[in-house]
Every structure is written in C-alpha cells, then in structure tokens.
Amino acid sequence: MKKIGILTFHNAYNFGAVLQAYALKEYLQKNSNCTVEIVNYKNEQIEKEKSRWKSLFNNNVIKELARNLLTTPYYLKLDKVFSKFVNKYLTADNEIKKEDLSSLKYDLYLVGSDQVWNITLTGNDKTFFCDFAMPESICCSYAASIGSSAFSNEELQNYKQLIDRFALISFREKELVSIFEKIASEKKICSVVDPVFLLKQDEWNTMASSIVRKPYVLFFCVGYNDELDQTLEFAKNLANEKNMELLYLSNQDIWYKHRELHHCGAASPCEFLGYIRNASYVVTNSFHATAFSIIFHREFYSEIGLKRNGRIKNILNLTGLQDHAINRGINKENTFKGKIDWSKVDVRLNLEKEKSYKFLRSVVDLIEK
C-alpha cells in the first residue's frame, strides 16, 4: 500500500491548526487506498512561540510573571487536552527530528495547509519544501500559504527554486495563484478550500462535544487586544438584544480586563466544535470559527476591520455572506441580520469544494495509477 505523509503545523494550541490537519488526513484516508500519516515534525521557531514564559524577556517582568503564574493552571489543562487530541486523531508517533527526516519512506509528501511556506514564520525551515525527501518521492502542496502576497523579485526567485520539485501546487489564497503562475508557468497551480471544508457537516457532528446549556451567543477571538473591545461590545449588544447568555471562548488574557465575562475555560478541539455547533450566534475574528459557523449553519458575525482578516473576507465573498461582516464592531446598517438562507450558501460553497476534491484526486493519482 502506498504511503502519504502530511507536513503541516499540527502541534499548536490552536483549534484551526489541529482541525485542518485532522480534516486533510481524514479525507485522504476515506478517499484513497493509501496509508495516510501526519509527519510528527515540529518546527523549532513555532515551538518557541508556544512558550508562556517568552514574554518575560520582552515586557515588564513583574507584571508578566504574575500573569503567567495566575494562568498556569489554564495552560497546563490546555496542553493536556490538545496533546490528547493530537495523540488520538493526528499522530501518536514519537517526534521526528530534522536530521532523521531523510530516513522516512513515503511515496508522496503533501505539504499544508496553513502558513507552511512562510519562511519568516518558520525561520527559513526548508523542511516544508521537502528538502529532505528522496528523489523518488513525489511532493505536492495543499492550501499552502505564505502569509503575504507582496514579494520582491529576489524573494520570488527564491520561491521559484524552493517549489521546483513540487509536482502539483495549491494555495490557500487565490491571489498567490496568479503570482506563482508567472514564475512557474510549467506547474499546475490552483487555489483550494481550507481542509475543514473537505468534510461534511455530519462528519464534524461526530467530533463535536455535546454542550447542554440555555441559548447563548459565543464570542471567540484570537489574539485579543484593545481593538477588539468594539467587537466584544457588538457581542454584548447582540446577547442583550436576543436575551441570551454571552460565553467567551479563547485564552485567559481577556479575563484581566473583562472579568464579567463567562469564560468557557481550557476547551478541547472537540469542545470548540461543540460550542460553535450549539451556539445561537457566533461573533468572532477567527477564520476557522467563521468556517465552522458556516459548516454547522450557525448565525454569525465576523470581524474584518482588523489586521490579517483577508481570509475571512474571501470566505464571506465566496459564500455570499458579506452582510455578516462587521468592521470594528459595526456592520453596514448597524442592525442584526435575519436568518441566513443556507441552501444558497451550500450551493456556492459546494462548487469550490468540488474543485478541491478534484485537485486531491489528481494528487492521489500520482501514486495510485
């Protein structure tokens, strides 16, 4: 049986990271005759970013020490629930060091999704360009991202060399397709949906934890800062308007400023799915919270007025849900929209999903035929 090894960011304390890795692995396992595994390789620079103690060296030492000590129980539990998920659903293998990658025996390496080709983020780690792979191994990418669409000529030439051995290439962002088609015209390059859209709603339902409580508005944010105060105010107004409880799901940093919020605690990825599936409304600045709101047919509002929210704009445009964007806590008419017509959304989304299924079929055919 042929073997596929997936190289991605699968070991972060990030719901989107682990769920996209799971989705890609699960889809390929169900739709090929291959053994599919996630390569348990951890990028050194990303691992450093996970440390709760790194901020001690960049900020007020006493303040950060106090914060880290207060939140240690939360992060210890977070580590436990994420490790359990990774070991159960992604990979139970021992970590593979950089120097041992060349000993791996996969027929095909699939790199993605996430910002696996962002060399600034990874510390110029060529692993995600398969520099270790044996010549007979085939390399492809799925929904790879670079984190930018602005490059110097020197950067583009560097990328041209790095992607040279890739047989098939797909990007997360459409704008990268036209850029890379110009420097690698001989390659088949396209854009695809995020891996979480590869699985059907009922498949995610089996993963989602049961959340039983009275109707609620879920506020989920990533990278909370003062700019998100306006988004939080929108969520509070929505909860008051609908006479619902407001739940906050994310890290504990917001707790220092908004102790009146009901915090969901250190949720597991399956609980994250459950909180979204059972919410009456979701308010978020997260792409994957937006994606799962769409998958579970939940009413939602997504913040697009802050940095790095281009992916949310893209998925709202693709699904025709632009009216569910809010910009710094304000939507176009400053009113809460009516019910979403999910049948129309599903038709538009399914067209894009079919293109992604076709691309992955082409990838698998490289080793199955």
- What pLDDT, in 10s, does the model give residues 171-210? 998 889 999 999 998 999 999 999 999 999 999 999 999 9
Please provide residue 284's backbone torsions phi and psi, each rounded to the nearest 5 degrees. -155, 160
- Ranges 47-56, 125-134, 332-341, most confident: 125-134
Same domain assignment for residues 36 and 113: yes
Average pLDDT over residues 330-339: 66
Domain that holds residue 24: 3-51+89-199+352-365
pLDDT of residue 258: 74
SS3 263: strand
Which residues are paired to 249 by β-bridges?
A: 220
Report the number of distinct structural domains present in the chain: 2
Nearest to 249, CA basis, from 277, 284, 280, 215: 284
Confidence at 117, pLDDT banded by 50, 70, 90: very high
pTM score above 0.85 = yes
310 belongs to a structural domain: yes
Is pLDDT at 17 greater than 90 in this prediction? yes
Same domain assignment for residues 224 and 192: no
Largest CA distance in the chain: 62
CA atoms of 369 and 347, how far apart (whole Å): 32
Amino acid (one-letter) located at 313: K
69 belongs to a structural domain: no
Q: How big is the chain, counted in residues?
A: 369
Same domain assignment for residues 123 and 258: no
Same domain assignment for residues 184 and 277: no
246 belongs to a structural domain: yes
Using an 8 Å Cβ cutoff, are 293 and 278 in contact? no
Same domain assignment for residues 165 and 266: no
250 belongs to a structural domain: yes
Confidence at 262, pLDDT banded by 50, 70, 90: confident
Same domain assignment for residues 183 and 259: no
Q: Return the percentage of the chain with pLDDT > 70, whole number.
A: 89
pLDDT of residue 100: 94
CA atoms of 181 and 188, how far apart (whole Å): 8
Which residues are paired to 144 by β-bridges?
A: 114, 171
Rounded to a whole number of angstroms, the CA Rg of the chain reads: 21
357 belongs to a structural domain: yes
Same domain assignment for residues 189 and 224: no
State the alpha helices, DSSP H only, in 213-341: 229-242, 269-277, 287-295, 310-319
Using an 8 Å Cβ cutoff, are 355 and 362 in contact? no
Same domain assignment for residues 96 and 139: yes
CA atoms of 336 and 344, how far apart (whole Å): 20
pLDDT of residue 53: 46
CA atoms of 100 and 69, how far apart (whole Å): 36
Same domain assignment for residues 138 and 42: yes
The residue written with tokens 């990007």 in the block is: 171
Same domain assignment for residues 284 and 257: yes
141 belongs to a structural domain: yes
Lowest mean pLDDT among 56-60, 228-232, 362-366: 56-60
Same domain assignment for residues 181 and 312: no
pLDDT of residue 46: 80
Q: E strands, 138-238, where?
A: 138-141, 166-171, 188-191, 216-220
Average pLDDT over residues 28-54: 84
The residue with greater pLDDT, 62 or 237, is 237
Q: CATH number for the domain including 195?
A: 3.40.50
77 belongs to a structural domain: no
pLDDT of residue 336: 66
CA atoms of 91 and 105, how far apart (whole Å): 16
Q: CATH number for the domain including 218?
A: 3.40.50.2000
The H helix count followed by the E strand count for the chain is: 12, 12
343 belongs to a structural domain: no
Same domain assignment for residues 228 and 103: no
The residue written with tokens 């602005």 in the block is: 150
